[in-house]
Amino acid sequence: MISTIPNFVPNKPSRIVVAMSGGVDSSVTAGWLKEQGHEVIGISLQLHDMAEKIENEFGTCCSLSDIMDARRVAEKLEIPFYVNNMEEEFRGAVVDDFIQEYLNGRTPNPCIRCNEKVKFRQLMDWALDLGADYLATGHYATVQINSETDEVELFKGGDNDKDQSYFLFAMKQKDLAKTLFPIGGFEKKTVRELAIKYGLLVANKPDSQEICFVQAKSYREFIEDEVPKELLKPGNIVDPDGNILGNHGGLHQFTIGQRKGIGVHGKEPLFVLALRGKTNEVVVGPEQNLFRKSALVSRVNWINEPILGTKKVNAKIRYRAKESPVEIFPTADGKLEVKFEIPQRAITPGQAMVFYEGEKVVGGGWIEDLSIQ
């Protein structure tokens, strides 16, 4: 059953470029738009060249095998299809940032960086160059036009388990106004049913699960293979009072909330509480010390009107986290002090904090370093 959730899609024939990743979601996006009578053009981005090195290619994203799947879908749908090589840009904006963030003791979110710096920015430019009216993707999110302001607003997707609005908080109004999420209100099972209806070979293709450029190894191993050994700086493992409990081989080996593989033991289980980039220290302590009621957020993006004063909204501190009521306090330097009604476990610097009013995404930013309290 097709969703009745409000979601803007033009009701007159338009030229629409579809970002095709080779997965079922973007493939059905292209098929559904063509079925509605639109002129559809498919574009894939070649972001890295590693699929041939991987025995099991499922779980990847934007690999060469995915591009081949996208090409086959385009042929089946009889739509034009282009591939743009963005390996160099992807390396600089996403992969290098990913590595540096871990080296600095932060836990990055490369999918948001890719959306912000590579996919939407570059694809939108190419879509407009092709004379397109809109760029469409297979994200599970929805958009609506505010009748009072004429601005486009971003909302959650119709499938709660697949909602991807968290990853889109960094979108600018000028891009969102030209962006469509045609299947955003559908349930995943409906998307797969449509893929079968359209005769697409990707109908049962598994969803990508891992970081696309880290395959067949852990992210720790990936970083160690990518950077000179002198950048993997060892340091001390300390308790919240600064007492040295042991040593480590680099901040990239840890993330907030981690318990296994720390390398030191105590009278009770120890968890990573903080990563101090300036002193290269890993701070560990009991699990109750992971819960916090406040955080600082920087590089804030408001999708519509900026929030300039104190306001109560809901926030997610990571993609799979539950929303929690917060009160936000803008600071003089453009950051936000966020206070939670309910203490949150493992608030992690480098991750995105996204703010919601009901189903609507109002904006978000990046969690700053935390002090040990």
C-beta of residue 235 within 8 angstroms of C-beta of residue 282: yes
Supply 210's token pair: 């891992």
Question: 61, 62, 111, 114: which one is catalytic?
Answer: 114
Give me the amino acid identity at 62.
Answer: C
Element at 286 (helix H, strand E): none
* Helices and strands of the chain, counted as H and E runs: 9, 17
Q: Read off φ and ψ for residue 146, nearest 5 degrees.
A: -70, 120
Rg over alpha carbons for the chain, rounded to the nearest Å, is: 22
Q: Torsion angle of alpha carbons 269, 274, 275, 280, nearest 10°? A: -80
HSE value, Cβ hemisphere, 13 Å, CA-based, for 14: 19
Question: 61, 62, 111, 212: which one is catalytic?
Answer: 212
Read off the DSSP letter of residue 349. T
Judge whether 114 counts as a catalytic residue.
yes
Residue written as token pair 């909204």: 313
Tell me the pairing of strands 336-345 and 324-330: antiparallel
Judge whether 61 counts as a catalytic residue.
no
Supply 114's token pair: 């890719």
C-beta of residue 315 within 8 angstroms of C-beta of residue 336: no
What distances in angstroms separate CA 262 from CA 28, 106, 109, 220, 315, one per listed residue?
A: 44, 16, 22, 13, 29
Give the active site residues.
114, 212
